[in-house]
Amino acid sequence: MPQLNFYKKLESESASFKPPYVIESGQGAYLKINGINKLNFCSSHYLGFAEDQRLKNAVCEAVQKYGVGTGYRTLAGTHTLHLELERAIAKFKGTEAAVIFTSAYMANAAAIQTILGKDDVVISDELNHASIIDAVRLSQVKNKLIYKHTDTNDLEEKLKEASIIIKPDGSKPLMLIVTDGVFSMDGDLAPLPEIVRLAKKYGALTMVDDAHGEGVLGKGGRGIVDHFDLVGEIDIEIGSLSKAFSVIGGFIAGKKTLIDYYNLKARQRLFSIALTIPDTAAALEAVNILLESDAPVKKLWENVNYLQKEFKRLGFDTGNSKTPIIPVMIGDEDKAKEFSAKLFEENVFATPIVFPMVAKGKARIRVIASASHSKNDLSKGIEAFGKIGKQMQII
């Protein structure tokens, strides 16, 4: 029977599934796993907000005042906290307006699907996040051009190719250049200044997914656009509330006209429940903390710089990272898995990144620093890496 064959196929393909470790603590400098504290070198909570007392207090106060649930934004679900959060994000990012979604994945989908027709053009970096790839597929745009990773010469060739495309009605298509701001596997940056220059030259819109740049890059953690002094030059900025802000959700920031259009047309907003009260309150408090002080960002970068220096001192290859994402390159996939397992035995939790997340032969241990780490925490991690690196003849 087809049903039986279907479930047999699922069983066969799922046989290699390995359940993830179960965390028994908060997402701080250490994670409790099987009752043992493991140094947390793999969470994207860059600023340590996951256990921040101000966020906890904000959640408790909001829940006591408003309860938990919300609703559809277009019906009875737009809460005063949602509007406060959107205003705070726009102020933080230096844009005219912002709109929030239940995830950055949804924000990427909305950003592309809502403005592109099937005869328009999207030009995308080859290493863009899966949510961008899925968003392009969802848009059903026929003209999809991929340029080599951060290669602006190749991007210009794709723009030249796109500039001669004509829609069936004889009009010129909308061209959208899409890139991650920080690439999550290597920690390298998109060449935004050159992308903006080319976009203006060829009349294209620009979109940046800055999920790993918020709270990390720029003045006070305002992101990669601020980092390159391009505030107001990028059309669509996507952000995540689940990385540096340690909550859940995503947003689109840009000109008010654009955000009004997303509010009116984005299906991911129209047909999805809004962020809950506790999520919104926590995210708002996180943004407010950064609007008040850059101290958490400075602490993060002290830790990043120390880790980078120590990894290089030991002789590890950390690629071209310019961010708290530090890829410790191993190469061989089995060795990367073994290295991670040995780290776990040393009570250091750092996950292996292997194919298909990265190309074959490019396996690595992805280390992520946090403002919640003390220098002593980092030194413990470095000591474990050095010990295992020598044992396995990686260094």
* Residue 358 reports pLDDT greater than 90: no
Compute the average pLDDT of residues 5-14. Answer: 89
The ranges assigned to domains in the chain are 19-46+295-391, 53-292
Compute the average pLDDT of residues 109-135. Answer: 97
Per the CB < 8 A criterion, the answer to whether 218 and 227 are in contact is yes
Q: Any catalytic annotation for residue 8?
A: no
Residue with tokens 């925490």: 377
Compute the average pLDDT of residues 93-97. Answer: 98
Phi and psi, residue 118, nearest 5° = -65, -20
Q: Model confidence over 235-281: pLDDT tens digits?
A: 999 999 999 999 999 999 999 999 999 999 999 999 999 999 999 99
Per the CB < 8 A criterion, the answer to whether 34 and 364 are in contact is no
* Residue 37 reports pLDDT greater than 90: yes
Instruction: Return d(Cα 351, Cα 367) in angstroms, integer.
Output: 8
Active-site annotation holder among 129, 243, 362, 373: 243
pLDDT at 381: 97
* Residue 323 reports pLDDT greater than 80: yes
Instruction: Provide the residue type at 219 as one letter.
Output: K
pLDDT at 154: 98
Could you give the residue ranges of the DSSP H alpha helices within 38-103?
Answer: 53-66, 80-93
Active-site annotation holder among 38, 82, 158, 212: 212
Q: Where are the extended beta strands (E) located within the chain?
A: 30-33, 36-40, 97-101, 121-125, 143-147, 175-180, 205-209, 236-240, 250-254, 325-331, 348-349, 352-353, 363-368
Q: Any catalytic annotation for residue 44?
A: no
CATH code at 53-292: 3.40.640.10
* Residue 189 reports pLDDT greater than 90: yes
Compute the average pLDDT of residues 325-349. Answer: 96
Pick the CATH number of 19-46+295-391 from 3.20.20.70, 1.20.1440.130, 3.50.50.60, 3.90.1150.10: 3.90.1150.10
Greatest extent of the chain over all pairs of C-alpha atoms, in Å: 66
Please report which confidence band the pLDDT of residue 359 belongs to, taking 50, 70 and 90 as the band edges: confident
pLDDT at 199: 98
Task: Examine domains 19-46+295-391 and 53-292 and report if their fold is the same.
Answer: no
Instruction: Return d(Cα 161, Cα 126) in angstroms, integer.
Output: 17
Instruction: Return d(Cα 163, Cα 50) in angstroms, integer.
Output: 46
Q: Any catalytic annotation for residue 45?
A: no
Instruction: Please give the model's pTM, rounded to 2 decimal places.
Output: 0.94
* Residue 1 reports pLDDT greater than 70: no
Beta-carbon contacts of residue 376 (< 8 Å; ≥ 6 apart): none
Instruction: Return d(Cα 162, Cα 190) in angstroms, integer.
Output: 21
Please report which confidence band the pLDDT of residue 394 belongs to, taking 50, 70 and 90 as the band edges: very high
Residues counted in the chain: 395
Q: How far is CA 391 from CA 14, 191, 340, in A?
A: 33, 38, 13
Pairing of strands 143-147, 348-349: unpaired
Instruction: Return d(Cα 30, Cα 374) in angstroms, integer.
Output: 11
pLDDT at 2: 76
Q: Which among 137, 107, 114 has a CA at the least distance from the CA of 272?
A: 107
* CB-CB neighbours of 311 under 10 Å: 23
How high does pLDDT run on average in the chain?
96
Active-site annotation holder among 184, 246, 321, 372: 184
Query: What 3-state DSSP class applies to 77?
Result: coil
Instruction: Return d(Cα 93, Cα 291) in angstroms, integer.
Output: 10
DSSP annotation of 138 reads: H
Phi and psi, residue 46, nearest 5° = -55, -35
Cβ-count burial of 79 within 10 angstroms (0-12 exposed, 13-18 middle, 19+ buried)?
buried
pLDDT at 357: 85
Measure the CA angle with vertex 43, ends 42 and 44; round to 5°. Answer: 120
Instruction: Return d(Cα 253, Cα 95) in angstroms, integer.
Output: 6
Please report which confidence band the pLDDT of residue 15 belongs to, taking 50, 70 and 90 as the band edges: confident
Instruction: Return d(Cα 317, Cα 336) in angstroms, integer.
Output: 13
